[in-house]
Structures are given as structure tokens and as C-alpha cells.
Amino acid sequence: MLHLNDWYETSFNESNYLYPLMQQEIKEILKGLQVDYTTTISGWVRTFRNNQFIALNDGSTNNNLQVVVDFNTFDEALLKRITTGSCIRATGKVIASLGKGQSVELIADTVEILGDSDPEVYPLQPKKHSLEFLREKAHLRFRTNTFGSVFRLRNALAFGIHQFFQEQNFIYMHSPIISASDAEGAGEMFRVTSLNLDKLPKTDNGEVDFSEDFFGRSANLTVSGQLEAELAAMAFTKVYTFGPTFRAENSNTTRHLAEFWMIEPEVAFNELKDNADLAEEMLKYVIQYAMEKHPDDIDFLDARLAEEEKQKPTNERAEFGLKEKLNFLLANDFERITYTEAIDILLQSPAYKKKKFQYEVSWGIDMQSEHERYLVEKHFKKPVIVTNYPKGIKAFYMRQNDGEETGRETVAAMDILAPGIGEIIGGSQREERLDKLEQRMKEMHIPAEEMYWYLDTRRFGTCKHAGFGLGFERLVQFVTGMGNIRDVIPFPRTPNNCEF
């Protein structure tokens, strides 16, 4: 580890001035634990006032370091190049600041322009920009406070997820991105091909002849790594995947992306309750980790959300502030109810009786976000885990519950519902019984011969097992309070949008 004294070592660079071998992050300097030493910093100019005060940011924090230059001793041509968006390196002495708003500042001895920024065309001038505008400038929006906070927290959440599973001795599996299976049976997939689209080979009946394609068969981008994770769990017991998944769903909502990241653990010998326990523990762990790692970013986004909520009609405002919502999740044991109990609660609710729900409530529906949020925010006032969903609205691989009354067959599925967002995790105990699984695949017209590899895990040493899926962007949305999922992934992929 390098200590402060190491920063004092100097060498000559190409510009022929002395600079410390080790430059500091602005975040560390602003802690103010050390003053009266010389150091070097690099970053991007946010503002330059009175030809004297540079607000410099290097992305380590939303807080800028004030760099003070004496315009009487610096070349005028150089000062003119210090503009919003330009990149500079400054060397000087860190001192206690006498001005308001910062504990320390740097008195610059030297300033080097690393990259110019023409103020006439640079789009992120120091003023408020709409999120819609910034989506069009996704290659530059990282430099704003809002997106600086969002993506530092995204990084912390990703690291926290890996740390959680590694501490519990899970094996990290890289599931394939190119796949020949459709795990969800949805059929909304992106095709992968090397065929010449201007001259596709055809079979005798006029269909595309994929036998001449690269893989000798039809292939697509994966919609889930779950099925492959199940294979690995049958050897390693505890595995997880964390990678990109793709859905060719033509949906232009604030909740959908064509490319997103999924966390999908699978655990042999686990049943539904074990699965729910693991999911609750993981959620609390990673949220706590991110809050502890980046408290300043949480504070900033909490204030931002509060200001945004003030602009809404009273009846449309969120039930909780951001920090309040996150602490609410951490402080409460998740309520656990069955789907049937959830529907009964909704049917007896004042909201249903006063016709305040937009969507109908009856046994067998796929609950909408408004129903899920009612259960969490109004009825239980804590996160909720709903289990045992109707068989007809769930995937083929979910374990069928025994002893169910006719017309109300259910599967051992679970959803975790969180305040402000509704469903955040979905999972199930998997169907380990070969005969039951084959029958369900037949009912859903899933060709067993193409899924032989999946069925083999039920033929050779089958056991009960369970897992769940967490859409990573949904988690980042929850922790940052951002209303649109396109604002929590660096470069969103949506219908008619594949920039950068």
C-alpha cells in the first residue's frame, strides 16, 4: 500500500515540470484528513469562475475539488482553454479552505491541459438537463452528478452480489450468450445467424434452411442462464450466473430493456422455503453493502427523488423516500403469503371495492404492479414473498404442487415484492420428477427431444433443487430511485434504439 510520503516522490514528465508519481483521487483529498502537502490530480472541469476557481471532478465522487489558480502568474492562453468539459492535470499544495462549501482546496503551481472542450458545442454546460436529453447523450451523461451516483452504485451492487455468493461458497458459472433453447418458452428472441440475409438458403417446403448456418441449426441470444445453471447445480450443489440476457419484446415502457443483466442462483437440495430465505438474505446483503460503500451517492439521489416527487400530484407521490424505502426493506422480515391469500386480500381491500385498481382481480390472474405494491405498501407495510402461483401462468420447469383442488393447480413458485417497484425477484422450486416434467412440456408444446440434455439431469441422479432470477437493472432502479430502467444501464438497448 502506498502512503502519503510516496506521493512526494517526483519525476520529470514530457512537459518538463515536476509532478508526484502517484496522483490522488479527489474523493480521498476531500476527506480532509491531511493538509499542507503537494500532490497531483486529474479530472474534468465542471466550472471555471473568475479566471481563478476551477471546480474539478474525477468521477470518484460527486463532490468537486476547488483548484485555485493565480491568473497573474498563468499564461492567458492556457486559462482560456480551461472550459467546462475540458480535461486537466493540476499539481499544487492541498490546504485547508477558507471558503464555504469545501474543507480543503488545491493551490495550483502547474496546470496542464490534457484535452480541450469547445464551450460552443459541448452539450453538458453547467445547467439542469432533462433525463430524456441525457439519454440522447449517453456517451457523456456519466459526467453528470445523477449518473455519477447511479453508476457508482451499480458497480457496488455488482461487486456486492459476487461477494455475497462467494462468501457462501457458490460457484460462478458463465452461461452461454448464444443458445438454441428458449428457457421461458416465450419465443421473443433475437436470432443469431451467419447466413447471407439477401440470399437465404431454403428447404423444399420454403422455410429457412438453418442446417447451412454456422451452428448447423437455429440459434438465438439467450433469454436466461437458468437451465444451464441447473445442470451445474447437479454437480456443484451451489452455483450462480451473472450475465447479459436478451428479449426481443417490442415494449417501450419504463420497465423493459432488450438487453439486460440477470443474476440466477441454483441450489441443489433446496426447496421453496430455502429459496425464499436465500433471496431475502441476498437482497438485504447487497443493498446494505451499496449503502455503506456510497452513502454520499445515496444522500444525493434521495434528495433528487424528493425534489422530483414534489412536482407530482399528491396522490401520485411515492409512499417512501429513497433512504426510507431502503431502510424499510433492511429492517423488516419479509412477509410470506400464498398467491391465494394475496388474491383474497386484494378482493377484500378498500381499493378493490372502490374500483381504484386499473386491472381486474380474480384467482388466476398474473398480478400487476399496482396489486403487488398494494400488498407491500398499504396492507402489510413490509416486503412480501408470494408463493404457490397458478400453474397456468408459470413456466414449464416449476414444480407442480401435489394435492391441489381441480381448477386451482399451483406450482412452487415465488415472487419477492418490494416497495415502489413491485416484483423484484422471481423464482421457484424446479420440477425434479421426470414424468411430471415431460408431461408439462408436452402440455406446453416444448419438444422433449431438443431438451434431452435438460431431462438427463432428471434421469441421472435427480434431486430437489430451486433457484431464482434477479434482473440486475431492476435492482439498480430500486436502490437509486430512478424511474426509468433506461437510466440505470450505461447504453440502453430498446426498440429502434441501438446507439453507441
Give the per-residue SS3 of 117-163.
Answer: CCCCCCCCCCCCCCHHHHHHCCCCHHHCHHHHHHHHHHHHHHHHHHH
> Which residues, 6+ apart, have CB-to-CB distance to 171 below 8 Å?
232, 236, 238, 239, 240
Residues 184 and 70 in one domain: no
Residue 181: domain span: 143-188+223-487
Residues 348 and 454 in one domain: yes
Pairing of strands 384-390, 335-338: parallel
pLDDT for 496 equals 92
By CB neighbour count within 10 A (0-12 exposed, 13-18 middle, 19+ buried), where does 125 fall? exposed
Q: Enter the C-alpha cell of residue 140.
A: 457523456
pLDDT for 94 equals 96
45 falls within a domain: yes
Torsional class of 74: left (φ above 0), alpha (ψ -120 to 50), beta (otherwise): beta
Residues 103 and 153 in one domain: no
pLDDT for 163 equals 98
Torsional class of 405: left (φ above 0), alpha (ψ -120 to 50), beta (otherwise): beta
Residues 82 and 172 in one domain: no
Residues 370 and 479 in one domain: yes
pLDDT for 15 equals 40
- What is the rounded end-to-end Cα distance, in angstroms, of the chain? 37
Residues 47 and 171 in one domain: no
pLDDT for 228 equals 96
CATH number at residue 387: 3.30.930.10
Residues 158 and 46 in one domain: no
Domains in the chain, number: 2
Phi, psi of 157 (to 5 degrees): -65, -40
Specify whether the CB–CB gap between 159 and 143 falls below 8 A.
no
Specify whether the CB–CB gap between 463 and 268 falls below 8 A.
yes
- Within 13 Å and on the Cβ side, how many CA atoms surround 277? 6
Its pTM stands at 0.92
205 falls within a domain: no
pLDDT of the chain, 500 residues: tens digit per residue: 444 444 444 433 444 334 444 689 999 999 877 899 999 999 999 999 999 999 999 999 999 999 999 999 999 999 999 999 999 999 999 999 987 778 999 999 999 999 999 999 999 999 999 999 999 999 999 999 999 999 999 999 999 999 999 999 999 999 999 998 766 655 589 999 999 999 999 999 999 999 999 999 999 999 999 999 999 999 999 999 999 999 998 888 888 899 999 999 999 999 999 999 999 999 999 999 999 999 999 999 999 999 999 988 887 788 789 999 999 999 999 999 999 999 999 999 999 999 999 999 999 999 999 999 999 999 999 999 999 999 999 999 999 998 765 568 999 999 999 998 889 999 999 999 999 999 999 999 999 998 999 999 999 999 999 999 999 999 999 999 999 999 999 999 999 999 88
Please tell me whether residue 114 adopts helix, strand or coil conformation.
Answer: strand
pLDDT for 9 equals 42
pLDDT for 405 equals 57
Residues 357 and 310 in one domain: yes
Residues 233 and 287 in one domain: yes
396 falls within a domain: yes
Specify whether the CB–CB gap between 400 and 309 falls below 8 A.
no
Residues 82 and 184 in one domain: no
429 falls within a domain: yes
Separation of alpha carbons 116 and 113, rounded Å = 7
207-244 burial string, b = 16+ CB within 10 Å, else e? eeebeebeeeeebbbbbbbbbbbbbbbbebbbbbbbbe
195 falls within a domain: no
Specify whether the CB–CB gap between 165 and 173 falls below 8 A.
no
Helices (H), 42-108: 76-80
138 falls within a domain: no
pLDDT for 2 equals 45
CATH number at residue 36: 2.40.50.140
11 falls within a domain: yes
Residues 400 and 300 in one domain: yes
Kind and range of the H or E element at 350?
helix 350-353
120 falls within a domain: no
Residues 179 and 238 in one domain: yes
